[in-house]
A = this chain, B = another copy of it.
Amino acid sequence: MDVEEVVSGVLEGDRRATARAISMVEDGADDLPELIEGLFSKTGNAYSVGLTGSPGVGKSSLAAELVKAVRSRDRSVAVLAIDPTSPFTGGALLGDRLRMQTHATDPEVFIRSMATRGHLGGLALAAPEAVRVLDASGADIILIETVGVGQAEVEVATAADTTLVVVAPGWGDAVQASKAGILEIADVFVVNKADRDGAAEAARDLEIMLKMGPEMEWVPPVIRTSTVNDEGIDELWEAIESHRKHLEASGELDRRRRARLLREVEEMVSVRLRDRAASMLERGAMEKLAVDLVARRVDPYRAADILVGEVGREDR
């Protein structure tokens, strides 16, 4: 398949082409710019929902239930599971993926996990591109599942239109949540595993923290769910829909998407110029500067000044 075939395949909603396109994003393929160029004008129709939270809170099971909820409303859905893989542990989450197999034969459900092996920009750039592919392929709803609440995962979660922060009973007190920085990014809180002890307390803790925080135009609702008892999933879906309506009515959806798009391009510029600076410094025109830096004859700020000038001049 060449890029043109992938582009036309994705636009027709062909699953193989879509999978191929995500692989191109994952690997940072050379012809990724052509892929995105071919798809970009056809995007903007999907609504994306990010799920984030510590390992073990049940995000995958919850995503599976949300897939059911979306399908019962007759809309198509794509799930993008983002694995922050390490050289040690490629594929650690494969088990999680298998739980999704109930939907494996539904043509309106597309499930794909993605690492960021080759993409120069890492998750911050690969995630929005994968979402773009799924959007162009005709998915109405895109669920983005990420593992952990590190900075990279937070960035991914905020790449969605609505971000769910998932916790579980006994998941720890308010201080943990605030240390992890998840309060600021949640549009909806989900206390999953609500069949277990401590769910009411976890929900109450969150509600208290939200009251203690600054006033917000949209106050994130706290929804209790259980994928065992099939509890709370419809309420969760309604909360997502309410948030969407809020974003649309306030003009905030357009503002957020615009800001995300500009940030993405700024990040691309930044990654590209960092790469250029690194080449110049490590094996190119500015090698002497590196030597002076290491010998402490030039300080980092001065070195950065010089490089900023040179990186701009370089025309490649």
A residues contacting B by CB (< 8 A) are: 32-33, 36-37, 40-41, 43-44, 55-56, 84, 86-89, 92, 147-154, 175-176, 178-181, 183-184, 209, 213-214, 257-258, 261-262, 264-274, 277-278, 281-282, 290, 293-294, 296-297, 299-304, 307-308, 311-315
Bound form: Cα–Cα A100–B58 in Å: 38
Q: By DSSP majority rule, is chain A's interface helix, strand, loop, or mixed?
A: helix
Q: Are A304 and B272 in contact (CB under 8 A)?
A: yes
Contact B261 A294 (CB under 8 A): yes
Which residues of chain B are near A40, meaning CB under 8 Å? 296, 299-300
20 contacts between A and B (CB under 8 A): A33-B299, A36-B300, A92-B178, A147-B179, A148-B179, A148-B180, A149-B150, A150-B152, A150-B181, A151-B152, A261-B294, A261-B300, A262-B293, A266-B274, A266-B278, A269-B307, A270-B271, A270-B274, A311-B312, A312-B313
Q: Are A266 and B277 in contact (CB under 8 A)?
A: yes
List the 5 closest pairs (A to B, CB-CB), nearest first: A312-B312, A150-B150, A270-B274, A33-B301, A268-B304
Counted per complex, copies of this chain come to: 2
Say whether, besides A86-B183, A180-B148, A183-B88, A269 and B274 are in contact (CB < 8 Å): yes
Q: Which residue of B lies closest to A303 (CB)?
A: B265
Residues on the B chain within 8 Å of A154, using CB:
150
Find the B residue at minimum CB distance from A314: B312
Establish whether residues B179 and A84, one from each chain, have CB atoms under 8 Å apart when the complex forms. Answer: yes
- A273 lies within 8 A of B269 (CB): yes
Q: Which of chain B's residues have a CB closer than 8 A to the CB of A294?
A: 257-258, 261
Most buried by B among A41, A150, A179, A278: A179
A311 engages B262 (CB within 8 Å): no
Q: By the criterion CB–CB under 8 Å, are A55 and B176 in contact?
A: yes
Contact check: which of B183, B209, B262, B269 meets A308 at CB < 8 Å? B269
